[in-house]
């Protein structure tokens, strides 16, 4: 004999489990602001291997984008940050990222100006370690606009 009361209970358990799965798949949001001082408000992001992260970059400066744009670029391991930035200096049309080096980035946002926001979603690398992130706008990396993603 079938127990009719079990059908709603099983449906409820399935719905709750589906909700937990959907909740677990939502990215963790990391809010970062950038201003005219050429610094990120967050210089270290800690993550678990494989964790999904959404970086939301907001420009809170007042200088125009043509003079003080900002972006977020997370580099793959083994990529020299200074070499990556220098290679992009002549590439304003691709947000100062050399197309030949784009494959050296894990995550990228567009260049933004005052009041603008850009987002990028990525999975933290599976291998624990430190991964550099930086702004490719000319002079910003040298001015200290950089940080590190620490996967552990």
Mean pLDDT of 76-88: 97
Q: pLDDT, tens digit, for every residue of 31-52?
A: 999 999 999 999 999 999 999 9
DSSP letter string over 49-82?
A: TT-EEEEEEEE---S-HHHH-B--EEEPTT--HH
Closest C-alpha among 127, 119, 101 to residue 28: 119
* 3-class DSSP assignment, residue 21: helix
CATH code 3.40.47.10 for 27-151: no
Boundaries of every domain in the chain:
27-151
**Encoded tokens for 64:** 């125009």
Model pTM score: 0.84
Residue with tokens 């996967």: 151
Tell me, what's the pLDDT at 50?
97
**Encoded tokens for 122:** 């990525």
- Backbone φ and ψ of 138, nearest 5°: -50, 130
Give the sign of the dihedral formed by CA 61, CA 93, CA 102, CA 123. positive
Closest C-alpha among 88, 83, 50, 73 to residue 131: 73
């Amino acid at each position: 004999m079938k127990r009719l009361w079990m059908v709603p209970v099983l449906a409820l358990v399935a719905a709750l489990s589906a909700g937990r799965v959907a909740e677990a798949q939502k990215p963790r949001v990391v809010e970062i602001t950038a201003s005219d001082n050429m610094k990120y408000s967050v210089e270290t992001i800690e993550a678990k291997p494989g964790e999904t992260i959404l970086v939301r970059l907001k420009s809170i400066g007042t200088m125009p984008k043509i003079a003080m744009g900002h972006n977020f670029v997370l580099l793959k391991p083994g990529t020299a940050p200074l070499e990556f930035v220098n290679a992009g200096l002549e590439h304003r049309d691709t947000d100062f990222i050399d197309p030949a080096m784009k494959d050296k980035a894990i995550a990228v946002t567009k260049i933004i100006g005052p009041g603008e926001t850009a987002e990028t979603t990525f999975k933290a690398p599976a291998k624990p370690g430190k991964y550099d992130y930086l702004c490719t706008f000319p002079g910003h990396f040298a001015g200290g606009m950089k940080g590190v993603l620490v996967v552990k």
